[in-house]
Amino acid sequence: MHIVVNSIYLQGNHPHRNSFARHLFGYLVGKHPVHHFYFLISNTEKSHYPKAENATVININSSVKNIASLKIWNTILLPKMLKQLKASILIQPNGLHSATKVPQLLLITDLLWMQPSSHMSASLRWYHKFFMKAAITKASQVVTLTEQTKQDLLSNFPSVSGKVSLIYSAASAIFHQMEYDEKKQIKDSYSEGKEYFLYTGSHHSDKNILELLKAFSLFKRWQKSNMKLLVAGKIASKKNGIIQKLDSYKYKEDVVLLPSITEQQLAQITAAAYIVIHPFYNEPFAQPILSTMQCGVPVIAINEINIEEIGGDTCLYAVPGDNEALANQLKLLYRDENLSRTLVEKGLLTKNVFNWERTGGLFWESVLKAL
Measured CA to CA, the distance from residue 254 to residue 200 in angstroms comes to: 16
Question: Does 353 score more than 70 pLDDT?
Answer: yes
Count of CA atoms in the C-beta half-sphere (13 A) of 209: 29
Mean pLDDT of 216-239: 86
**Rounded to the nearest 10 degrees, how much is the dihedral formed by the CA atoms of 112, 75, 55, 26?**
10
Give the lowest-confidence range in 116-125, 254-263, 335-344: 116-125
Q: What is the pLDDT of residues 333-349, one digit of tens each?
A: 999 999 999 999 999 99
pLDDT at 341: 96
Q: What CATH number does domain 2-170+355-370 carry, 1.10.3720.10, 3.40.50.2000, 3.30.565.10, 3.40.50.720?
A: 3.40.50.2000
Mean pLDDT of 147-155: 85
pLDDT at 233: 81
Are the CB atoms for 60 and 84 separated by under 8 Å? no
Give the lowest-confidence range in 16-25, 182-191, 217-226, 326-335: 16-25
Measured CA to CA, the distance from residue 268 to residue 178 in angstroms comes to: 8
Are the CB atoms for 88 and 1 separated by under 8 Å? yes
Measured CA to CA, the distance from residue 244 to residue 249 in angstroms comes to: 9
Q: What CATH number does domain 180-352 carry, 3.40.50.300, 3.40.50.2000, 3.30.565.10, 3.40.50.2300?
A: 3.40.50.2000
Question: Does 202 score more than 70 pLDDT?
Answer: no
Nearest CA to 229 among 290, 281, 289, 300? 300
pLDDT at 220: 95
Comparing 286 with 259, the larger pLDDT belongs to 259
**Rounded to the nearest 10 degrees, how much is the dihedral formed by the CA atoms of 37, 38, 39, 42?**
170
Query: What is the distance, to the nearest Å, from the Cα of residue 70 to the centroid of all Cα atoms in its chain?
Result: 23
Q: CB within 8 A of 137, min separation 6: which ones?
A: 157, 159, 160
The percentage of residues in the chain with a pLDDT greater than 90, rounded to a whole number, is 45
Are the CB atoms for 229 and 209 separated by under 8 Å? no
From-to residues of CATH 3.40.50.2000 in the chain = 2-170+355-370, 180-352
Count of CA atoms in the C-beta half-sphere (13 A) of 287: 29
Q: What is the pLDDT of residues 217-227, one digit of tens each?
A: 999 999 989 99
pLDDT at 11: 42
Three-state SS sequence of 100-129: CCCCEEEECCCCHHHCCCCCCCHHHHHHHH
Question: Does 13 score more than 90 pLDDT?
Answer: no
Comparing 10 with 369, the larger pLDDT belongs to 369
Measured CA to CA, the distance from residue 181 to residue 38 in angstroms comes to: 42
Are the CB atoms for 171 and 290 separated by under 8 Å? yes
Question: Does 128 score more than 70 pLDDT?
Answer: no
pLDDT at 31: 95
Q: CB within 8 A of 56, min separation 6: which ones?
A: 36, 37, 38, 39
